[in-house]
Amino acid sequence: MSSQDPDNLKNELERLRAENDRLKRGSAKGLTLKVSEKGGVSVYGLGRFPVTLYKEQWKKLLDMSDEIRNFIEVNDSQLKSKE
């Protein structure tokens, strides 16, 4: 590496920083979606393991979004936050 031109190293560093910034902004809060091997929808980035449900399960869960938000608000004092 010491034999490389300092200008080349500087350009490479700038390129890597720009790529790193682009990757960080890639998706909201680092969450990504993928189709699982068995045809489910997997959400990565919430924890150590992905959350995988079939499309019908996701639709049911999304239909309950207002209820879930209300439940969290009502039970906020009992719930822990990871952040």
Q: Give CA separation, 48 vs 7, 25, 39, in Å.
A: 40, 20, 21
User: In which domain, by residue range, is 50 found?
Assistant: 6-78
32 lies in some domain:
yes
CB contact at 8 A, 62 and 75 = no
50 lies in some domain:
yes
Q: Is the pTM value of this prediction over 0.75?
A: no
Based on the structure, what is the number of domains in the chain?
1
55 lies in some domain:
yes
- What is the rounded distance in angstroms from the CA atom of residue 15 to the CA atom of residue 2? 19
83 lies in some domain:
no
- pLDDT values of the chain reduced to their tens digit, one per residue, 83 residues: 456 788 889 898 998 988 887 766 655 568 999 999 999 999 998 888 999 999 999 999 999 999 999 999 999 999 999 86
1 lies in some domain:
no
- What is the rounded distance in angstroms from the CA atom of residue 34 to the CA atom of residue 56? 16
